[in-house]
Chains A and B, each alone.
Chain A
Amino acid sequence: SLFGGSDYKLIYRHYATLYFVFCVDSSESELGILDLIQVTSRGGFCAELPVPCPQVFVETLDKCFENVCELDLIFHMDKVHHILQEVVIGGMVLETNMNEIVAQVEAQSKL
């Protein structure tokens, strides 16, 4: 699941029918393409942290959506974005503590 490129690396993991592809770049971390099934997000964290990160992300999604499936991601894409904003900023990892992330997301949705 690791590809080496000249400027960037693609790291992907798939969980059942969901593919998470992270494009990682050590120098420039602005990328953004959202696709229906392949969620390529502005992810830029250290290239040798392959798998636990998506795992954290997926598990967070799980907690927020209660057993997330791809339909959830499609229909609630704005919510997915908001969750992602609590995990990653400008291409760097912000918070990896799942409980923390979930708490913040829920607090904001009450506003």
Chain B
Amino acid sequence: MPAPIRLRELIRTIRTARTQAEEREMIQKECAAIRSSFREEDNTYRCRNVAKLLYMHMLGYPAHFGQLECLKLIASQKFTDKRIGYLGAMLLLDERQDVHLLMTNCIKNDLNHSTQYVQGLALCTLGCMGSSEMCRDLAGEVEKLLKTSNSYLRKKAALCAVHVIRKVPELMEMFLPATKNLLNEKNHGVLHTSVVLLTEMCERSPDMLAHFRKVSLVPQLVRILKNLIMSGYSPEHDVSGISDPFLQVRILRLLRILGRNDDDSSEAMNDILAQVATNTETSKNVGNAILYETVLTIMDIKSESGLRVLAINILGRFLLNNDKNIRYVALTSLLKTVQTDHNAVQRHRSTIVDCLKDLDVSIKRRAMELSFALVNGNNVRGMMKELLYFLDSCEPEFKADCASGIFLAAEKYAPSKRWHIDTIMRVLTTAGSYVRDDAVPNLIQLITNSVEMHAYTVQRLYKAILGDYSQQPLVQVASWCIGEYGDLLVSGQCEEEEPIQVTEDEVLDILESVLISNMSASVTRGYALTAIMKLSTRFTCTVNRIKKVVSIYGSSIDVELQQRAVEYNALFKKYDHMRPALLERMPVMEKVTTNGPTEIVQTNGETEPAVLETKPPPPGLQPDSQENDLLDLLGESYITPVIPTAPTSKPVSAGGELLDLLGDLNLTGSPVSAPAPQIAQPPFLLDGLSSRPLFNDNAAGIPSITAYNKNGLKIDFTFERSNTNPSVTVITIQASNSTELDMTDFVFQAAVPKTFQLQLLSPSSSVIPAFNSGTITQVIKVLNPQKQQLRMRIKLTYNHKGSAMQDLAEVNNFPPQSWQ
């Protein structure tokens, strides 16, 4: 058998291969040669063969058959053999292979070898890939070596000890005595690794941490650090003019752990931290690395405020650095500290805002988050200007977040209503298509509530969509406003800015183009059609045109539009006398309570007297939920529609078709008490148009639950699942009163998380008689398309014993059959 080729030879050969296939061939040939050489138990060339095998392993080819050979090499007496053997062990073996345990004995012997380099090899290997069994067996040896005077071995032993502790945390105490003298070394290598060992111990065990604090580790570390900074130039450890930055950073990190939540330690290190922070040169990256570590330490320990301000100023300086790594790191840290040190960070606001214009995407994102965190009442105007400019020019992935952020900030800090509306308009026009869906109802509510700005708002919105009606949220808001305030538009009443001359026909033109346009989403069309309908009471000369438009859409393919159009048509024909009452102005809405990002409060559309625009809603009653229908026509936004109907005690009119609900309005009661109309109906309830129950009794034994039981008021839920739509759960609530006095004006409200949709039908009455002699029943329909666990928050208000009562509760005990 000819001598196996050398490693260099092999490498050279492989590199001449021109294709992947050629290379594979060469490798296979060589592997075969190596395997037969192994079989022959050839001692001379084993080292060479394993080296070649390692190279091939590096290239990605299987090399497991060399594992045992590595062990044989380790057992050999020659240093070169051992070296390659240990290297092979580290590369090819890990604790998953059973073979590795065979190494234990070899390592043990080598740890006690006379040559320090052999000992070093053994320590290295153990520290890299030692399994927990190996570590247990050999920990004692490592501990011995930790106490040796040979610094070469000591430092390796320290790192090996770290590995042992990681693998077998119980052995930590064993190394404790050895650590006493570790920091007395002069050798930086030993110092460095010792600090690593101490850090590991402190991180893992609070007891160790307490122990080290007691034995005044901190003063020792401070002294070492001081020497490093003060000492003159030391060529051995110098990196770009700073003496052993690695050790400095390590020490700073350990100080951080020691000083966390501990006043005494923190105080002991205040001075040195200030010194490092002020004296370190920042021209090179090395200095910045140290400064960064110092800043992190200052922020983490209980430092005095002057020091913290110093730290934040350093971060501010980082922001001006040319190196984008440093800017990135500074922004990330500032983001973490902005909550606690808000004022200090505010000082750097202008620099942060400048970072919005940075080229790097990660930096822009962090700058944006930080900017939103810094907005407050004083700087909102300036910040908004910058953020709006950012919104204009940023990448699409940011626009949604930025728009939401701007809305939130504007809501919290708007200096005036006009400014708020202007800001919103600006966002809608620049990033209109990225605005989140829930923004539209919020905006509409905001606009409704700013009564004096209606004319201004509708005028601006009109002008905005005149040019371009492709951005859906903008068009939706605009259509709604035009529908509501169209009369202000044509009468030219605007005070805030120059009123424009618009005729009724022009307004209808634009709404019709929205209806016709291919770009309009179905929802938007719904908005537009309803707006046109509303204008029939606001406009005087174009009613016929409106009638025509409405009747055209009576045969629209879109079922939603069709239904609306047909209903509106009916309004013109049969119920013309009701039209003004139905289509009149929205009252000021109650602010939607945003408990959290996902839940909203449903209003129960109950017997609500028709409210004229100027009359505020009667106190104690919830405002009309009529807006819900008109806002959310297909149930896509989070406010799900409510069908407020008259209490079912009123007579149901004849004709169980679409107009049945409207038919309920054909009341014998006084017209004033006619409840608001409900025109839109969510699609999932289309199958139940009459007052017949919508669901087939699929109550195959879904257990009912008591959702609430307090102060004599008990509310039970019974469940039924719809046959036609498996995502619909119908809950019937029964409220009973066990006290001795009636509960009057009872109102039940419910809210569900965003992924659900909720519909409350009208209750049977608003009085719960005492002594459990009667109940109020009400039907809730829940749409749960994602089949998530049902949760509900309920709010109850009623009058009892002469005082108004109110309670909030969460219902979590829904049986699984009700939502699965």
Which positions in A face B, CB cutoff 8 Å?
1-2, 30, 32, 34-36, 42, 45-46, 48-53, 55-56, 74-75, 77-78, 81-82, 85, 89-97, 99-100, 104, 107-108, 111
- Cα A93 to Cα B156 in complex, Å, equals 10
Q: Does residue B160 face the partner (Cβ distance < 8 Å to A)? A: yes
- Cα A104 to Cα B461 in complex, Å, equals 77
- Cα A91 to Cα B253 in complex, Å, equals 17
- Cα A99 to Cα B250 in complex, Å, equals 21
Residues of A close to B54: CB separation below 8 A: 77-78
Q: Is the interface of B mostly helix, strand, loop or mixed?
A: helix
Q: Does residue B159 face the partner (Cβ distance < 8 Å to A)? A: yes
- Cα A99 to Cα B234 in complex, Å, equals 12
Q: Knowing A78-B54, A89-B160, A93-B192 touch, does A52 contact B127 (C-beta < 8 A)?
A: no
Residue of A1, A90, A108 near B127 (CB, 8 A) is A90
- Cα A81 to Cα B87 in complex, Å, equals 8
Contact across chains for A96 and B244 when beta carbons are under 8 A apart: yes
Residues of B close to A99: CB separation below 8 A: 236
Residue of B55, B196, B292, B328 near A92 (CB, 8 A) is B196
Which chain B residues (391-436) contact chain A, with CB distance < 8 Å? none
Number of interface residues of B (CB under 8 A): 58
Q: Beyond A49-B289, A96-B192: 20 further Cβ-contacts under 8 Å?
A: A2-B328, A34-B91, A36-B59, A48-B249, A50-B285, A50-B325, A52-B239, A55-B239, A74-B11, A74-B15, A78-B54, A78-B87, A89-B159, A89-B160, A94-B155, A95-B155, A96-B189, A97-B237, A107-B117, A111-B117
Residues of B close to A81: CB separation below 8 A: 87
Q: Does residue B115 face the partner (Cβ distance < 8 Å to A)? A: yes
Residue of B83, B159, B286, B328 near A94 (CB, 8 A) is B159
Q: Nearest chain-A residue to B200 (Cβ)?
A: A92
Q: Nearest chain-A residue to B164 (Cβ)?
A: A90
Contact across chains for A32 and B91 when beta carbons are under 8 A apart: yes
Q: Knowing A52-B286, A89-B123, A92-B193 touch, does A78 contact B51 (C-beta < 8 A)?
A: yes
Contact across chains for A46 and B250 when beta carbons are under 8 A apart: yes
Residues of A close to B250: CB separation below 8 A: 46
Contact across chains for B159 and A52 when beta carbons are under 8 A apart: no
Contact across chains for B292 and A48 when beta carbons are under 8 A apart: yes
Residue of B91, B121, B285, B329 near A51 (CB, 8 A) is B285
Q: Does residue B224 face the partner (Cβ distance < 8 Å to A)? A: no
Residues of A close to B15: CB separation below 8 A: 74
Residues of A close to B328: CB separation below 8 A: 2
Residues of A close to B155: CB separation below 8 A: 94-95
Q: Knowing A35-B58, A49-B246, A96-B192 touch, does A111 contact B128 (C-beta < 8 A)?
A: no
Q: Does residue B8 face the partner (Cβ distance < 8 Å to A)? A: yes
Contact across chains for B246 and A82 when beta carbons are under 8 A apart: no
Residues of B close to A50: CB separation below 8 A: 285, 289, 325
Q: Knowing A55-B239, A97-B236 touch, does A111 contact B79 (C-beta < 8 A)?
A: yes
Contact across chains for A42 and B128 when beta carbons are under 8 A apart: yes
Q: Does residue B812 face the partner (Cβ distance < 8 Å to A)? A: no
Which chain B residues (220-262) contact chain A, with CB distance < 8 Å? 236-237, 239-240, 244-247, 249-250, 253
Q: Knowing A48-B329, A96-B192 touch, does A89 contact B124 (C-beta < 8 A)?
A: yes
Q: Does residue B129 face the partner (Cβ distance < 8 Å to A)? A: yes
Q: Does residue B84 face the partner (Cβ distance < 8 Å to A)? A: yes
Q: Nearest chain-A residue to B118 (Cβ)?
A: A111
- Cα A82 to Cα B240 in complex, Å, equals 26
Tell me the smallest distance from the CB of B373 to a CB of chain A, in Å: 19
Q: Nearest chain-B residue to A32 (Cβ)?
A: B91
- Cα A32 to Cα B778 in complex, Å, equals 66
Some 22 contacts from A to B, beta carbons below 8 A apart, are: A30-B94, A36-B59, A48-B289, A49-B246, A52-B245, A52-B246, A52-B286, A53-B246, A55-B239, A56-B239, A74-B11, A77-B55, A78-B51, A89-B163, A90-B127, A92-B193, A93-B192, A94-B192, A95-B155, A95-B189, A96-B244, A97-B188
Q: Does residue B353 face the partner (Cβ distance < 8 Å to A)? A: no
Residues of A close to B115: CB separation below 8 A: 111
Q: Does residue B30 face the partner (Cβ distance < 8 Å to A)? A: no
Which chain B residues (488-532) contact chain A, with CB distance < 8 Å? none
Contact across chains for B83 and A108 when beta carbons are under 8 A apart: yes
Q: Mark B1-20, 1 if CB is under 8 A from A, else 0.
A: 00000011001100100000
Q: Mark B68-86, 1 if CB is under 8 A from A, else 0.
A: 0000000000011001100
Q: Mark B153-194, 1 if CB is under 8 A from A, else 0.
A: 001100110110000000000000000000000001100110
- Cα A10 to Cα B84 in complex, Å, equals 29
Contact across chains for B123 and A75 when beta carbons are under 8 A apart: no
Q: Does residue B293 face the partner (Cβ distance < 8 Å to A)? A: yes
Which chain B residues (99-133) contact chain A, with CB distance < 8 Å? 115, 117, 121, 123-124, 127-129
Tell me the smallest distance from the CB of A97 to a CB of chain B, in Å: 5
Tell me the smallest distance from the CB of A102 to a CB of chain B, in Å: 12
Contact across chains for B325 and A52 when beta carbons are under 8 A apart: no
Q: Does residue B390 face the partner (Cβ distance < 8 Å to A)? A: no
